[in-house]
Structure 1
Amino acid sequence: MKLTPNNAVTYESSQGVAIITINRPERLNAIDEEVEQGLQAAWLQFNARAEDRVAVLTGSGDRAFSVGRDKSVTAPPDYRRFTPNVVIQVDKPIIGAVAGWCVGGAVVLMQACDLLIAAENTKFSYPEVKIGFAGGLLCALAGRIPHKVAMEMLLLGKEISVERAYQVGFVNRIVPVGEQLTQAVEMAREMATHAPMVMGMLKRGVQHALPKSPAEEGALALRETEAVFASADFQEGLASLQEKRRPQFHGR
C-alpha cells in the first residue's frame, strides 16, 4: 500500500513495515523544502498508523542516499522539524538503508536511526565547516561513536568510508550495493513481530541515556511549547481572557 506524502518522499506500507523513501534521484536525493515537508508528513503518518511497527528510511538509487541540502535552495534548513526524535518524537524503531553518498543533513538523519544497513559504496561526509553552516544536531555524534572519530568528521569535513563507519559502530551491516533495502526490510519484518510496547519502552530508555546536543535540547523545549500553543486549552485560555470569564481547561 502506497501512502505518499508528496512527490519528493514516498511512503509504502507492507507487513508491519513502512518504507520511507527520499525520491529525487535526478538530484541525488538532495533535501529541499518539498523533501522537508514530505519527511515531516511521513513521520507523523508513521506515528499515526498502529499497523506500521518499524520504519525503513532510504533514498532512490544507489549513487546517494542524499547529498544533503539542495544547493539551489538559499533558505536555511531546520532539520529539527523533519529529523525523527527531535521536534517529532518517534517511539517506534527506524532502520536506515543507504548507498553511495550520505552528506551533511543526510548523516544527521542516519544518526537518528536506531539501526543502519549500508551498501559497500557508502561514504559519509559532513562538510559544513567548509561551507559556513551547521545546525548543531550532529554534535550528538560524539555520544554515539568515539569522541576523536566524531571530531575528525565534524572539524575536518572529510569523508569517512563505510568500513570506518562500521568499525566505530555507526553502521550495523555492510552489504553489496543494491541489497541495502532488501536486508533492511528483512530485519524490519522480523522486528515487526516483536512486542511493540517493549520496543517503544526500550527505544525511549536508550534515547534518555544518550547524550543530547544543545540543538536537540532546544528542540525538545520547542516541541513542548508548540504542543501547548496547538492545544484546545490554549484557545480556551485566550477565549476566557477576551470574554472575561473563568477558563475551563481539559488538559488537551
Structure 2
Amino acid sequence: MSAPHLREERRGPVLLLTLNRPEVRNAISPEMACRLADAFAAFDADDALRVAILTGAGEQAFCAGGDLGRTLPLLSGDRAPEDDWDRRFLNEPGLQDRSALRRAAPAKPVIAAINGLCLAGGMETMLGTDLRICAEGAVFGLPEARRGVIPFAGALVRLGRQIPEPVALELLLTGGTIDAERAREIGLVNRVVPQAEVLERAFEMAAALAENGPVSLREIKRVVRGSSGLTLDEGFALEDEAKRIVMASEDAREGPRAFMEKRKPRFVGR
C-alpha cells in the first residue's frame, strides 16, 4: 500500500503536517488536498493543539503546485474521476478552499517551514499561513500564466496584500521566480535559515507561540486578517470586539496573576 500523501505528527501542542510526495516535488494530488482539508479542520477543533507547522518531505521542495498529470486535468475536465479522492476533491463543498487555507482557515496559527521549491499552488497555500521560515535555497514563483491558466487558490487576492502590488503583479504576470533573500526583503517570509535548520527553527517558533494565551492568539489573528481592506473605524470595531472576548476569558485573569506570582501561566484557552 502506498504511503499517504500527507503525514501527520503530534508533538505536544504542535501538529506537524508534511506534504508527502517527494518524488514529484510534493505536488498537490486530490488525495493530498482532501487530507489537508481534513487535517486543518481537525487541528482547529482540537483544544490540545495550539500551533500547526506545514512542510514538505525531502530536501527538494516544499510544494511545486498542483499535480499537472492528475489534479489540473481533473479540474479542467480532461480527466474523469477515478476514485473517492477525485470525487471528494471535485464535489465536496469548500474542500478546495480549506485545503489551501483560502476560506475557513484555522483560527490558530499555522507556520510554513519552506524547505525548497515553493511554486504555483504550493505558494498559494503558503500565502494562507501566518508565519514563514524558509531554507536559503528556497525558490518562490507563480508560473500559471506561462501555462495559459491563472492562480485560483488565493494568490490573486492575497499576494498584493502581503507584498507591494507592483512586485506581486510582476510575479503573477511574468511567471518568474524569486529567491529566499528577495522573499525576505519584500516581507514574504519571516526568516531565512540553512536548510538543515528549517524544521528546528519552525518548532522553536511554534513552541514560543504555544506558550501564549490561545484566546489571545486566535483574536489577534482574526482581527489582523479580518480588518484588511476595512476602514479604520470598521477595523477598530473588530478590535473592540476582540478586546471584549479576550478580557472576559479565564486566560486574561490567569496571565497577569501568573506574572505577579512569578510563575508560568497555565492557559486553558477560554
TM-score, structure 1 normalization: 0.78
Give the letter aligned to residue 93 of structure 1: P
Cα contact 2:120–2:143 (8 A) shared by 1: yes
> In the alignment, which residue of structure 1 is the partner of 2:140?
124
> In the alignment, which residue of structure 2 is the partner of 1:9?
6
**Are the structure 2 counterparts of residues 173 and 147 from structure 1 closer, same or farther at C-alpha, using a change threshold of 3 Å?**
same
**Is 1:37 the equivalent of 2:39?**
no
Deviations 1:17-61 (A, max 9, x none): 000110111111011101101101110110121111000010101
Give the letter aligned to residue 19 of structure 2: I
Q: Give 1:20-99 correspondences, 5 Å limit.
A: 20-73=17-70, 74-76=73-75, 79-84=96-101, 86-99=102-115
Q: Which runs of 5+ in 2 are unaligned?
A: 76-88, 90-94, 231-270
Question: What SS does structure 1 have at the residue aligned with 2:196?
Answer: coil
How far apart in 1 are the matches of 2:178 and 2:22?
22
Q: Give 1:165-244 correspondences, 5 Å limit.
A: 165-211=183-229
- Residue 136 of structure 1 and its aligned partner are, at CA, apart by 5.7
> In the alignment, which residue of structure 2 is the partner of 1:150?
168
Cα contact 1:79–1:105 (8 A) shared by 2: no
Question: What SS does structure 2 have at the residue aligned with 1:108?
Answer: helix
**Are the structure 2 counterparts of residues 107 and 211 from structure 1 closer, same or farther at C-alpha, using a change threshold of 3 Å?**
farther
Cα contact 2:97–2:153 (8 A) shared by 1: no
How far apart in 2 are the matches of 1:121 and 1:206?
30
How far apart in 1 are the matches of 2:164 and 2:229?
13
**Are the structure 2 counterparts of residues 47 and 24 from structure 1 closer, same or farther at C-alpha, using a change threshold of 3 Å?**
same
How far apart in 1 are the matches of 2:227 and 2:179?
28
How far apart in 2 are the matches of 1:132 and 1:205?
36
- Residue 211 of structure 1 and its aligned partner are, at CA, apart by 4.4
RMSD, matched Cα: 1.6
> In the alignment, which residue of structure 2 is the partner of 1:233?
none
How far apart in 2 are the matches of 1:175 and 1:37?
31
Cα contact 2:14–2:52 (8 A) shared by 1: yes
Cα contact 2:121–2:153 (8 A) shared by 1: no
**Are the structure 2 counterparts of residues 59 and 211 from structure 1 closer, same or farther at C-alpha, using a change threshold of 3 Å?**
farther
Q: Which runs of 5+ in 1 are unaligned?
A: 1-5, 213-252
> Which of 122, 127, 132 is residue 111 of structure 1 equivalent to?
127
Cα contact 2:40–2:98 (8 A) shared by 1: no
Cα contact 2:37–2:96 (8 A) shared by 1: no
Give the letter aligned to residue 33 of structure 1: P
Cα contact 1:54–1:192 (8 A) shared by 2: yes
- Residue 89 of structure 1 and its aligned partner are, at CA, apart by 3.0
How far apart in 2 are the matches of 1:162 and 1:152?
17
Identical aligned residues as a percent: 36
